[in-house]
Amino acid sequence: MRMPLIAGNWKMHLTLHEAVELAKAVAAAAEQYSDREVLLYPTFLQFTRVQEAVSGTKVLLGAQNCSAEKDGAFTGEISAAQLRDAGAQYVLIGHSERRHILGEKDDFLKKKIDRVLEQNLKPMLCVGETLSEREAGRAKEVVLNQLLAALQHLHENEWRQITIAYEPVWAIGTGKNATPEDAQRMHSTIRSKISALCPSVAHTVRILYGGSVKPDNIAALMAMPDIDGVLVGGASLKAESFIAILRDAVV
């Protein structure tokens, strides 16, 4: 049985005050649900204050990115070791905005996965096809190539730290979510590939869906057998909508 994971990716949004207030509201609501986990990804700058706000609650915290290097002269970067020191448990790797806007490539993302694992943190690898890749019938190939490039070198104990987020690029911030059946097909394809790479973890690795998740589509998404949670962007920025998603994320 995989524990559902409901994650909010705050991207480059919210003031410090808004972030702290939102975190407190989410933490208060999360206490009611012992059968699901809640994870927030604030910006680096807000991380410590948000961490103080949720300390002692069940809310988990992650960082939206980390350096591919261990430490040293890398101006503007933040290392996995520094994230662990600040209290992060998860690190988002390869979000489509970093792949497509900031040009991060598979080999670079693989290095980040290794840095995160070295610090005993949990990488959440984002994978997903663009609209043109989907229309060309290449969605599965693209997603599986992203998965293989970042993860195929891992050992079983490392695989146990991994979470996957399938986020079709055309569904992010567009209001067009993949249908639950479409998402399920891709999640099942991903799980089969994991099974081929590391059979012992295929039934425990959580695969989240992301892309226009809202209170009105969460129940149908969570009803799918291989959707183990969601990674929410826009709807995670308001307490009301994120808490409604959390409430209705029933397996």
Catalog residues that contact ligand 13P under the rule CB under 6 A.
9, 95, 167, 172-173, 210-213, 231-235
Q: Which is nearer to ligand 13P, 198 or 236 (CB)?
A: 236
* Backbone Cα Rg of the chain: 17
Active site residue 167: yes
Q: Which is nearer to ligand 13P, 201 or 242 (CB)?
A: 242
Residue of 17, 95, 155, 181 marked active site = 95
Smallest distance from the beta carbon of 233 to ligand 13P, in angstroms?
2
d(CA 247, CA 249): 6
Three-class SS state of 94? coil
Residue at shortest CB range from ligand 13P: 233
Smallest distance from the beta carbon of 183 to ligand 13P, in angstroms?
13
Q: Which is nearer to ligand 13P, 162 or 198 (CB)?
A: 162
Smallest distance from the beta carbon of 178 to ligand 13P, in angstroms?
11
In this structure, are residues 241 and 29 in contact, taking their beta carbons and an 8 Å threshold?
no
CA 162 to chain centre: 10
Three-class SS state of 206? strand
Smallest distance from the beta carbon of 91 to ligand 13P, in angstroms?
13
d(CA 156, CA 201): 7
Number of H helices, E strands in the chain: 11, 8
Active site residue 13: no
Q: Which is nearer to ligand 13P, 121 or 198 (CB)?
A: 121
Three-class SS state of 45? helix
Residue of 97, 129, 133, 167 marked active site = 167
**Residues identified as active-site:** 95, 167
